[in-house]
Amino acid sequence: LAKTTQPISMDSYEGQEVNITCSHNNIATNDYITWYQQFPSQGPRFIIQGYKTKVTNEVASLFIPADRKSSTLSLPRVSLSDTAVYYCLVGVKSMDSNYQLIWGAGTKLIIKP
């Protein structure tokens, strides 16, 4: 069964731009790519979603190449409060043609002062 792949962890410093890439080779044609953020002792929270090219909101940007087999979450000018686990979420068509929502293993992002 296809799955997503993300780096297990990343470190960065306050004020830097952070890019986290997710691979999703078997993404379904009509499915979106969504990123969630999870702080300790809390449930995941929606950050951004896109289908193709580039999407930007007040907290992040999402870059999706033409083949849609990967996506990159970009966090501009991170702060200590951006320390969290970031999950990449896509819908994947399984062998029996049913859709499954596959969560990546998550990337633990640590921001240092």
Choose the stretch contacting other proteins; rule: CB under 8 A; options: 16-24, 39-47, 55-63, 69-77: 39-47
Contacting other proteins (CB under 8 A), which of 53, 54, 57, 99?
Answer: 99
Does 43 bind other proteins (CB under 8 A)? Our answer is yes
- The dihedral region occupied by 59, where left means phi > 0, alpha psi between -120 and 50, and beta the remainder, is alpha
Does 35 bind other proteins (CB under 8 A)? Our answer is no
Residues 6, 105 contacting (CB under 8 angstroms): yes
Does 105 bind other proteins (CB under 8 A)? Our answer is yes
Q: How far is the CB of 99 from other proteins (least distance, A)?
A: 4
Contacting other proteins (CB under 8 A), which of 29, 30, 81, 97?
Answer: 30
- For 1, the token pair is 């069964």
CA distances from 7 to 11, 56, 104, 105, 107 (A): 11, 22, 10, 8, 6
Residues 105, 95 contacting (CB under 8 angstroms): no
Site residues (CB under 8 A) for other proteins, limited to 48-87: 49, 51, 85, 87
The residues that touch other proteins, with contacts defined as CB under 8 A, are 30-32, 34, 36, 38, 41-46, 49, 51, 85, 87, 91, 99-101, 103, 105-106, 108
